[in-house]
Copies of this chain bind each other. A is one copy, B any other.
Amino acid sequence: MSPRFYAPAANATGDRIVLPVDEAEHLTRVLRLTTGKPIRAFNGRGAEFDALVSAIDRDGVHVQIGDRVAAAPEPRVAVTLAQAVLKGDKMDDVVRDAVMIGVAAIQPIVTERTEVSMATLARSRRRERWERIAISSAKQCGRAIVPPILEPTLFPLNDAAGVTVPSPVLVLVEPGASSGMALSELDLSVPQQATLVVGPEGGWTPEEVQAMTKVGPLVMLGGRTLRADAMALVALAALFTRWREF
């Protein structure tokens, strides 16, 4: 298959568009493609096309959009991952993995024990970084949708903040948590959408757990302690299995 590029301006067959700067760099410098080469272009909103590099000039990489083609199918359940921001570049891996397995959106959250503050997140432009990672992961896994990275927010959600997440809301808790139940014990019909909430390295405070019992079921995944940066991928794989996506 031809290499895939993110082309948000591509809407229909016949369009002539210019690739975003990052994509143009990838095309010319990494893959060293030239005028006339066939590529795939996806717009991040679900449409993918055969396409042709029609010109490379000072304005960028020009692409002629051809026939619409099938991208990787999207999961039937639109899952929002509400993930506590992890330290260092661990969150990058979570974003990459979550996009790969098929989430619909990622809501970064800051909890009591999250070691990164809202102020640091804003100053360091982490959200823009995660958006680039989401695009990169979508290119690799074959999705034509780039899941949005939502504005980071404090969690548990405060009604006043105006942030809501799709129901049902499932909260991942550690093995042996007193109020958690095994995924297999949940009466879990296949919803149209859902939210999975995953905590930070240090886990939840008792107060957070208490607050979250009102939000949705607290779910445990087996008896071993999962690394914080692997929790989301394991839980998403488990949920997709439960929902017969796999």
Chain A contacts to B: CB under 8 angstroms? 72-75, 97, 100-102, 140-143, 175, 182-184, 220-227, 230, 233-235, 237-238, 240-242, 244-246
Contacts and interface: CB of A to CB of B under 8 A. Distances in A.
B224 A72 contact: yes
Contacts of A140: 225, 227
Contacts of A182: 244, 246
Given A230-B233, A238-B237, A242-B241, A224 B184 contact: no
A183 B237 CA distance: 12
Copies in the complex: 2
A95 to B, nearest CB: 13
A241 B222 CA distance: 9
A140 B73 CA distance: 36
Contacts of A240: 222, 238
Nearest to A138: B224
A246 B234 CA distance: 10
A75 B102 CA distance: 27
